[in-house]
Amino acid sequence: MLAAERREHLLGLLAREGKIVAKDVAAELGISEDSVRRDLRDLAADGLCQRVYGGALPASPAVVDYAARQGVAPDGKRKVAAVAAALVPPGGTLILDGGTTALAVARALPQDLACTVITHSPTIAAALLDHPQAELFLLGGRIFKHSAVACGAAAVEAAQQVSADLCLLGVTGVHPEAGLTTADAEEAAMKRALAARAADTYILASSEKIGTASRFRVLPWEKVSGLITDADPHDAVVEQLKALGVEVLPAD
């Protein structure tokens, strides 16, 4: 049995039965109580359960799947998402792109933040269904499966009917000269259409995107308000971007 698998098992057990007794689980899985305790300690440290004498209880239910799913997102994306989520003003309107980093943003939106989220990603929409305060507006169109977002003429047209305070875009390449790029022309067009409908546009760029470029240009630097990244602020490329006048919001 894999360690990570065991962790999953514990979370499942917690969700199903509402509690965990360390001793029982250890016997059930045929491992030492020490390992169970260690796992529970780790889970509790991540906020995924509440440690109690003899075992563990679920953290507040909302927190559980929030944090559990949060857990699957790489650390860098989580940090970027947290900074991005903090940019959303209470009562404001946010256009949220698709992609895993944007998904992390959706999950990072505080549960008590009342706002309107506009998205062309069914995945993002589904993730925000259980947000208690967020108003949701879905942009329809043909779904591009590889990126799981609506693109194409219908989607662009739908985008033109909305306006927002803030647009958060994910891209696959962030390069001083090439600008912001992505791998698909339709997606690039869609991202442009979204950015055009918001007062401010910020780019979500986990560190591995920095300094790379893809086939299609999304936007030039002039059109974006800033870049949110977990890359080292003294990284050479990041410094170059700053020199170009790009506002860089560090995430860590």
State the residues that interact with a second copy by CB under 8 A: 2-5, 8, 19, 21, 47, 50, 52-55, 57, 60-61, 64, 68-69, 72, 100, 120, 122-123, 125-126, 129, 135-143, 145, 148, 150, 154-155, 158, 161
Tokens representing residue 38 in the block: 């260690």
Phi, psi angle pair for 210, to nearest 5°: -65, 130
Segment contacting DNA (CB under 7 A): 32-40, 73-81, 134-142, 241-249? 32-40
Q: How far is the CB of 199 from a second copy (least distance, A)?
A: 21
How distant is the alpha carbon of residue 191 from its chain centre? Answer: 17
Q: Under the criterion CB under 7 A, does residue 54 sit at the interface with DNA?
A: yes
d(CA 228, CA 249) in angstroms, rounded, equals 5
Cα–Cα distance for residue pair 224/206, rounded to 1 Å: 16
Q: Which of a second copy, DNA, none does 161 bind, CB closer than 5 to 8 A by kind?
A: a second copy
Q: Applying CB under 7 A, which part among 18-26, 69-77, 103-111, 141-149 lies near DNA?
A: 18-26
Residue 34 binds DNA, judged by CB under 7 A: yes
Which contacts qualify for 128-132: CB closer than 8 Å, 24 or more apart?
130/62, 131/106
Q: How far is the CB of 194 from a second copy (least distance, A)?
A: 13
Query: Which partner from the list a second copy, DNA, none does 27 bind, CB cut-off 5 to 8 Å by kind?
Result: none
List of residues 6+ apart from 87 with CB closer than 8 A:
166, 168, 202
In terms of CB distance, is 17 or 135 closer to DNA? 17
- Residue 145 interacts, among a second copy, DNA, none and using kind-specific CB cut-offs from 5 to 8 Å, with a second copy
**Type of residue numbered 230:** D
125, 119 Cβ separation under 8 angstroms: yes
Tell me the number of residues near DNA by CB under 7 A. 19
51 makes contact with DNA (CB under 7 A): yes
Based on CB atoms, which residue is closest to DNA, 3 or 244?
3
The answer to whether the CB of 228 falls within 8 A of the CB of 203 is yes
Q: Which residues does residue 217 pair with via DSSP β-bridges, in sequence order? A: 181
Nearer to DNA, 165 or 232 (CB): 232
Q: Which residues of 118-129 are buried (b: 16+ CB within 10 A; e: fewer)?
A: bbbbebbbebbe
Listing from the earlier edge strand, what are the strands of the sheet with 49-52? 20-21, 55-58, 49-52
Of the residues 14, 25, 55, 99, which one makes contact with DNA according to CB under 7 A: 55
Report the residue from 10, 14, 22, 151 that binds DNA according to the rule CB under 7 A: 22
| Residue 35 touches DNA, criterion: CB under 7 A | yes
Q: Which residues bind DNA (CB under 7 A)?
A: 2-3, 6, 21-23, 31-35, 37-38, 41, 51-55
